[in-house]
Amino acid sequence: MSRLVVVTGASGGMGQHTCKVFKKNGFTVLGTDLHEGKNLEVDHFFPGEITNEAMWQEIAKKIESLNGHLDALVNIAGRNYLANINEADLDQWRNMMEVNILGMVAAIKYTAPFLKKAPNAAIVNMSSISGYIGSVGYAAYCTTKGAIDSLTKSLALELAPEVRVNAIAPGWIETPFTVEGLEKSADPVAYRKEVEAMHALNRVGTPDEIAQSIFWLATGATFMTGSVVIVDGGYMIKN
C-alpha cells in the first residue's frame, strides 16, 4: 500500500521540490496551494486558501478513500510582509497570522486522525532562522516563525507517541522570493556576493537541499520530535 503525504504550499519553490522528493521515493502526494504550479508532481491537487476548512474536509475525504491513514504532513504554505512597525498595516499582520500559523493549525486539525493511524507518522513545519535572529522590517514574518516553533513543541507533546512533530528552519534559499529580494538592491551582483559571504559554506542553499532535509525529518529521524532543525549553511554560526 502506497504511503501518503500532504504538502501545503505545494506550488512554491520549496513546495515543488518537496513534492518531487516524496514522489521519487514512492509516496502518493496530495498537494494544496492557492494555484496549481506547472509540472507539479502531485497525484491529487486541492486549490484554495490554506485556512479553508471546507477544503481540508475534502482532503480528509480523499485520504479516507485512498487508504485511511496518512504517513506525513509537510506544512510549507506561508507568506511574507515587509514594513517597519510605525507603518504596520494591522490587516496585513492579521493575514500573516492567518496564513502562516492558522494554516498549519487547520492542516494538523484535519489530518491528525489519519496520521495517528500510520506507523512512524510525522509532521514537518516550515519555520525559519528569522524566528531566532529577527530582521528589520520583517517583524510580522519573524513573529509567525517564532510562533511556529512553539506550536511545533506543544503539538509534539500533544500528539505523542503516535505522531512526531518537528520543524525545519532554513536560511537563505534560492527561491523566487529570495531572488526578487536580491534584485531589488542597488547592486544585485555585489549584494549576492555579500549575502553568500555571510554563510560558512559561502553560498545560499537550494530548494532541493531543504526538500531532502524535510524528507529525512519525515521518514528517517525516527527518534526526533519537538525539534527545530536549522538548515542555513552556517549563517547563524558566522553571524
Residues annotated as catalytic are 141
DSSP H or E run through 123: strand 121-126
Name residues whose C-beta falls within 8 Å of residue 203's C-beta, 6 or more positions apart in sequence: 196, 233
Name residues whose C-beta falls within 8 Å of residue 23's C-beta, 6 or more positions apart in sequence: 29, 41, 42, 43
Residue 25 contacts residue 46 (beta carbons within 8 Å)? no
* 113 upstream amide cis, omega within 30 of 0: no
Residue 129 contacts residue 232 (beta carbons within 8 Å)? yes
Residue 43: other Cβ atoms inside 10 A: 16
DSSP conformation class of 72: E
Distance CA 4, CA 44 (A): 11
